[in-house]
Amino acid sequence: MKVIELSGRYYGFVTSTFDLYSTCETFLRSSKVIQGSFSYNYLRKIFYGIFLNAEDLCGIYEEYYYDEYYDFYEFLYKKELLEKDDISIIRCELEKGLRLLRLYISDNSYNLETFMEYEEDFLEKFNAMIQNIEEVSL
Amino acid sequence: MKIKSDFVTNSSSTSFILATSEEPTRDFLRDKFGIRDKFPLDFIFDNLISAIEREREEIHTYIEKHYSGMTVDEFLESKGFNKSTVDLILVKIKQGEKVFYGHLSSESGDSISESFFCCESFLVVNDDFYFNGEISGW
């Protein structure tokens, strides 16, 4: 599981078993902060701020655009308007069997997206916390 | 260094009240924030604690320095805290708790985390710990 920023947009890579609530609970347990505490509530707010209302682009392609585009990568290029270099990065992750989520962080929390934009270490450290989460929750 | 290229917002500075039964050291605050162990994102809370340590001032001392002649309740009401908060703080002072007042700034330059919490609204109430940043937030 991983979050990346490409051309000013955020994307998540998750397994097909991804579930927002249970994955967040596992994320919180991994931090070992006390349940209900200030840090617990903020970590939960951050996690939901990142993943709430995410769109499963693989699912959208398969359900609505499968016949319209030659493959998922053409869909990303022509519909999602991603650059070819960005699509190459995505392809590497999807070949590991992950699914692609389009994240709408600024819709959930403008403050969080601003924080992520300017706190250069945030994504690396957030990814360090979530990289093995789904293996744990399965 | 990052250069902000889009629109520039006004800077923001918001108040907090901290009341504790004992000296609010870094370890005490980590404990009251619910942090037990190190984890990759704990820097967010450590940076907030640094801002609190830097900015907090005993409330009577603060008022004497900046708003000489005002009582605690007059001062807090002038800062926008509601009556129930003011009454609670007066009780805590009477009970001998240590009460501090301070500001978080969106442009302190010390950490992005401080800017993040400056734009959030929060309240932590425990038996021996009270942290009010409710009038923060956009």
Angle at A123 between CA B110 and CA A30, to 5 degrees: 100
Euclidean distance between CA atoms B130 and A126, whole angstroms = 28
**B118-137: per-residue pLDDT in tens?**
889 999 998 889 999 988 65
Summarised one tens digit per residue, pLDDT across range B85-117 is 999 999 999 999 999 999 998 776 678 899 899
> What pLDDT is recorded for position B126?
87
What's residue A58's pLDDT? 93
Q: Is A116 on the interface with B (CB under 8 A)?
A: no
The residues, any chain, with a CB within 8 Å of residue B126's CB and separated by 6 or more, are B32
Contacts of A44 in chain B (CB under 8 A): none
- Beta-bridge mates of residue B130: B19, B125
CB–CB contact A37 B112 (8 Å): no
Q: Parallel, antiparallel, or unpaired: how do β-strands A99-103 and A2-6 relate?
A: unpaired
List the single best residue of B16, B41, B48, B104 to mutate versus A (max A Cβ within 10 A): B41
Contact B119 A33 (CB under 8 A): no
The predicted pLDDT at position B9 comes to: 60
Tens digit of each residue's pLDDT (9 = 90 or more) over A20-46:
999 999 999 999 899 999 999 999 999
Q: Quick one: residue A83, left, alpha or beta (phi over 0 = left, psi -120 to 50 = alpha)?
A: beta
Which residues of chain A fall below pLDDT 50? 138
Among B16, B44, B15, B119, CA closest to B24: B16
**pTM reported for the whole predicted model:** 0.89
Residue B4 has pLDDT above 60, yes or no: no
Strands (E), chain B: 13-20, 57-58, 98-105, 122-126, 129-133
Sign of CA dihedral A58, A134, A83, B112: positive
The phi and psi torsions of B81 (rounded to 5 degrees) equal: -75, 140
Euclidean distance between CA atoms B77 and B118, whole angstroms: 20
Q: Is there a contact between B39 and A40 if contact means CB atoms under 8 Å apart?
A: no
Render pLDDT for B6-37 as a digit per residue (tens, 0 to 9): 555 666 778 999 999 999 999 999 999 999 99
Q: Mutation test of the interface with chain B: which of A115, A123, A130, choosing the one with the most B Cβ atoms within 10 A?
A: A115
- Residue A13 in contact with residue A98, Cβ under 8 Å? yes
Spatial contact of A89 and B1, defined as CB atoms under 8 Å apart: no
Beta bridge partners of A9: A6
A97 in contact with chain B, both atoms CB, cutoff 8 A? no
Could you tell me the two tokens for B11? Answer: 């800077």
| A30 has a chain B CB within 8 A of its CB | yes
How far apart CA B5 and CA B7 sit, in angstroms, is 7
